[in-house]
Amino acid sequence: MVLYKAKAELEFEDELIQTLTQNGWTHNRALDNATPKMLENHFREILNQNNPESLDGEQLTDREMADIMRFIGGMTPVEANGFLNNGYVAEIPLTREHADIHVGNFSKVRLRAFWRDAAAGGMNRYEVIKQAIRPGMEDQLDSPNRRFDVTLLFNGMPLIQIEEKRVDVSLKMATNQIYKYKSEHKYDGLYSMVQIFVAMKENEVKYFANQKSENQFNNKFFFEWLDPQNHAVRDWRQFTLSFLKIPMAHNVISNYTLAKGDNLVVLRPYQIHAISAVRKAFENHQDGFVWHATGSGKTITAYKVATILQRNPQNQVIFLSDRKELDAQSGKNFSEFSSDTDDTVFETAHTDELISRLKSADNGVIVTTINKMKIAVERNNKLKEAGKKGFLDGLMTRRMVFIVDEAHRSQFGEMQRVIKRAFPLQSWYGFTGTPIFDFNKTAEDQTTESQFGPLLHRYDIGNALSDGAILPFNTEYVHVASATDQHGEDVDESQFSDDLYVGNNDNAQNYRNKVVHWIYKNWNKKSVHGKFNALFAVSDIQQAIEFYHLFKEKNKTALHPLHVAVTYSLNENGDDNQSQRDGLVEAMHDYSVQYTGSDSTFTLDNANVYIDDVAKRTARTEGPYKHLSPEQTIDLTIVVARLLTGFDAPRLNTLYMDKMMQYQGLIQAYARTNRVFDKNKPQGNIVLFRHPDEMEVRTKDAFEKYAGSGTFEKVFRPEFKEMQQDFADQVTSLKAYVPTPDEANALLDDTVENRVEFLKKFREVARKMQYLGSYSDFDWSAQAASYGMTEEEYGYFQGAYQTIADSITPVGPDRDTKVLKFDFEDVVINTLLIDREYVLSLGTSYLRSVKENQEDKSQEAQSKIEAAYKDFIAAAEKLRRSGKPKSADQILDFIKTFDSSKVDGDFDPENEFQQFQYQKKLAAIKKFANEFGLESKPLENVNAEYEETGEFRHEQDLKRTAKREVAESHGHKYKNVLNYKSVVQKKWQSFITDDLAQYRVEGDK
């Protein structure tokens, strides 16, 4: 065990810099405490040195440097990443100021700024500086001067920024500081280029990608470094030696970051190690496979392997999938990842297009299916057999690199052999979350190792769960089926035949009705009040149709109807009949009406378009599907085989199953639910209806084999009774410390240590309650006695928690109190999740109802408005009871005054509410300043400092604006100027601490 003696931050900083200088970095002491202008001049000097030919001996002028800074400073982190990685050399376009003395094209030049593939070599320069000054912006409120701890410069460009904290301080203080500086626009100019942030203590380090705004950061994607064996690296020195040294730090920028839509992504440690392992195997002419847990980002890893290897024009990389849906999805993902770089991706819609790409001299990764590749090879073979020139002849001198997605499902033994015989130089790499072993291979299958070669890197379910890359599961085995024999006696479930679950007999119909009833009854618990959607996997198409009809019928009487879709291919069962066609036609008709307003948008003629739309609307990850209104979303998607593998949907949190699965198929299906999303999604929910006891055995068997012996308990939440006891134990611990909410509130006058102890104890109660509340058997009103706490009492304790948390939440970077050892992490404090976001969603539903029905004076229309309003008011009242009265009042004010006509498809209630709060705060500040003879901007600056540090700073600037005569004109009386300034200072301090507190987050977001 390593014991750390707390160092002052500056001492720690100096040790960090010394270590960096021993690992490829140069400390540029002249740039310590650098102003923006000093950094710009340094960057200018480097550009002059690295581009003598392009500049034709003329140094950059002031105007030209201003043009360069406009080019650099206008970039988002994603755009900066594209600039840095768009080719071997990143170049800045520039029109020379003295263009008239040049001829031809010499008036326009390109200045080399960064060499992507020349880590630790070539023209790249690596420097470390400390305490860079980031000045406030005079024309903006709340923008004081700041300093950045340590910055790593690549050719003068700040690409990695490090914030350090003492060992006895929560690391969140460093990340919160970055958020704050981001909101203050301190990452402008050259600092808009920052790609990676590092938050560092002596015994804890996290790294994460920069984003366009502070609202885009998600601490679920702040990563702890791991070694190649997936052991955590928490010591700052070991992290620095393995992650920040040169050439590794350079490779992080050039190889291990990418753009995913508007977000910059930095790879997780295991992805980096896997890429390194494949590259090493490639250099040694060795094949192999990567075993990474489903849901851990294999697509990104495979993409990076493919594009890095394709940078060598002597290679031809081909990415293979075994189904056209996966081919299309991989092509889309690859194209999205490569959109801002010079990495070229060729999608192939059909075999002829694949052949055209293989014949082309264009350099790029080809994405296709194993079947198309096999057909192309066979066509080439026929040409050769006929004595003709083969179209693959041009590839015979290139090294063919085949990267196979979802390698566990690649039923291509013979197809692979056909392809292998065609090329003299080739490498094969498989990516899978569930390899095929001897225990689960079929007679026709090979094991993954026999197909691809040795395991190159492993990161299994157990690793991923421990690392937070995926979520655990809460699995319920539901016994709704029942049957009797010919004597009227109950039949044991183990004896149930398939006839009980399928067909039109009474038992099967009764079973299906019970399943549908169960799903509706428990929908809010599983979906977290509609925040997440679900898949319902059934055994065959006929079952899908039968269940779809039942959901339609149930919707007619349901208090809160569900949006249900069904998707299948007509040949998915291997048989095509009229009832299946009719079922699909009916589903497409309903879907067209619901989502397009037409009854014929989707038909059998474009069924593939329908299937694609259902998948995108279920996933909600791309384009217009990302921000759907509630009316445009799908709650439940019924599937047979589709979407159960290779389908990425972070907003999906539940899988209902009415089919039997095992081994890799079972794990792949479960893994649709446990993608990391936000604090409201602590787990993936699995609900099994068919042969639940047998499925429990299969589930344990599959996860023991793929997650390792003894890991089942880590991957799955405990059974309901055990979770009940866990919750009751936490309640007992809490009440032993503070028996009542009133006594908890009394801690406001107690020591910080005692208040923090209460926060810790209640947080554990809240954490257990969040888990417990997702179980179908949970019924607080009926079970309160066994828990030792009622729901109402929980709400009062929650209110005390929030009040006390507000009283001690650390906001300054150096507050030396015990509270700094308490990590105010995001925990959903309200078990039933009646938080600000939920109340705002109901408020939005009310506004939409007003917009849609206000012109209709019928009783039905008015009843809809009244029902939506009652739901909203009830939720706001519950928010108030749970200790957030200010949020409740503000949301009520916001919704009641908002113009419902402005609620369109792009309406973002959270953003609108924040703007509403911000404007209210500004108005309050201006009103106070006017009344007491002060200027509003200095008052806002004092408030901003207080919100960050908990201290009143720079009050002299505010005092200098004070005008006694203005205050007295509003009825205030003072003895003299000194008395006026003394009284008003106390007034504004009280105003900031008390009056403006209502505009600060109350912990519910």
User: What is the pLDDT at residue 409?
Assistant: 58
User: What is the pLDDT at residue 141?
Assistant: 43
CA–CA separation, 955 and 396 (whole Å): 76
CATH of domain 267-459: 3.40.50.300
Cα-based distances in Å from 40 to 32, 57, 138, 188: 14, 20, 20, 12
What residues contact 580, with CB distance under 8 A and at least 6 apart?
Answer: 541, 542, 545, 568, 570, 573
Phi, psi of 380 (to 5 degrees): -65, -40
- Name 538's bridge partners: 658
Q: What is the DSSP string of 476-545?
A: EE------B-TTSPBPPGGG--GGGTSSSSHHHHHHHHHHHHHHHHTHHHHHTTTTSEEEEEESSHHHHH
Question: Above pLDDT 90, what percent of the chain?
Answer: 52
What residues contact 443, with CB distance under 8 A and at least 6 apart?
Answer: none
Domain ranges (residues) in the chain: 9-246, 267-459, 473-715, 720-821, 836-907, 913-999
Q: CB-side exposure of 320: number of CA atoms within 13 Å? A: 26
Contact 432, 670 (CB under 8 A): no
pLDDT tens for each residue of 661-681? 999 899 999 999 999 888 889
Nearest to 200 by CA among 221, 220, 227, 177: 177
Nearest to 762 by CA among 792, 787, 786, 727: 727
Say if 267-459 and 473-715 have the same CATH topology.
Answer: yes
Q: Which amino acid does the sequence have at 877? A: E
CA–CA separation, 664 and 439 (whole Å): 11
pLDDT tens for each residue of 514-554? 999 999 999 999 999 888 999 999 999 999 999 999 999 99
Phi, psi of 539 (to 5 degrees): -75, -30
CA–CA separation, 316 and 397 (whole Å): 10
Low-confidence residues in the chain, pLDDT < 50: 1-3, 101-105, 139-142, 485-487, 810-821, 831-833, 1002-1005
The architecture CATH gives domain 720-821: Up-down Bundle (1.20)
Question: How many other CB atoms are found less than 10 A from the CB of residue 847?
Answer: 23
Q: Does domain 473-715 have CATH number 3.40.50.300?
A: yes
